[in-house]
């Protein structure tokens, strides 16, 4: 891994315990997997940070805003950004609805029908990822894969089961 890619990478992602309620073990597992996947592969850098990373990210929700608290690996503060969750409300709801349809389809429909629903699910996920990239534009540099993984985590954080 090049020094530049290490300088633009998350090495730790955590959730503020006061912002997110603990849930059922299966949902907690999905959260852990989403965080693992995000750390495993990402491109992440606050815009204008000359010193560079690697970075740690703590996500929290404050007054219906998703807060990105970013520090360096040694816990030196870098910046905090807050995004309104309002633009994500409909896309997350749509994503949950199509996921329910997908899981139901797995039990009863043909492979072709399942594939069609899955394509729709991926399309909505991509749309949410694009919204996230747009909302972070000028604040945090992320690639599409990182946006997808962050959007997955945002969805899992809203999943009540």
Q: What is the pLDDT of residues 4-26, one digit of tens each?
A: 566 899 999 988 866 666 666 76
Residue 159: per-residue pLDDT? 65
Query: Which residues are CB-contacts of 27 (< 8 A; sequence separation ≥ 6)?
Result: 156, 159, 160, 161
Pairing of strands 44-46, 65-72: unpaired
pLDDT in tens, 108-143: 889 998 899 889 888 999 999 999 999 999 999 999
The tokens of 103 are what? 């899981």
Q: Is 45 in contact with 72 (CB distance < 8 Å)?
A: no
**β 77-84/65-72 pair status:** antiparallel
Helices 144-158, 25-40: inter-axial angle, 10-degree rounding: 170
pLDDT tens sequence across 50-99 = 898 899 999 888 888 889 999 999 999 999 999 998 999 899 899 888 88
pLDDT tens, position by position, 25-49: 766 777 788 899 999 999 999 999 9
pLDDT tier at 158 (50, 70, 90 boundaries)? confident
pLDDT value at residue 5: 63
Write down the pLDDT at residue 28. 75
Alpha helices in the chain (DSSP H): 3-7, 25-40, 86-108, 111-136, 144-158
């Amino acid at each position: 891994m090049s020094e530049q890619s290490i300088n633009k990478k998350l090495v730790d992602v955590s959730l503020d315990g006061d912002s997110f309620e603990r849930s059922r073990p299966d949902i907690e597992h999905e959260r852990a997997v989403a965080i693992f996947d995000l750390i495993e592969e990402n491109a992440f850098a606050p815009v204008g940070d000359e010193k560079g990373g690697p970075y740690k990210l703590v996500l929290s929700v404050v007054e219906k805003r998703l807060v990105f608290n970013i520090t360096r690996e040694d816990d030196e503060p870098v910046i905090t950004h807050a995004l309104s969750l309002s633009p994500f409300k409909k896309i997350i709801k749509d994503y949950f609805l199509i996921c329910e349809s997908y899981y139901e389809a797995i039990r009863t429909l043909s492979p072709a029908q399942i594939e069609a629903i899955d394509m729709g699910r991926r399309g909505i996920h991509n749309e949410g990822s694009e919204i996230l990239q747009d909302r972070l534009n000028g604040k945090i540099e992320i690639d599409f894969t990182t946006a997808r993984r962050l959007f997955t985590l945002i969805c899992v954080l809203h999943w009540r089961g």
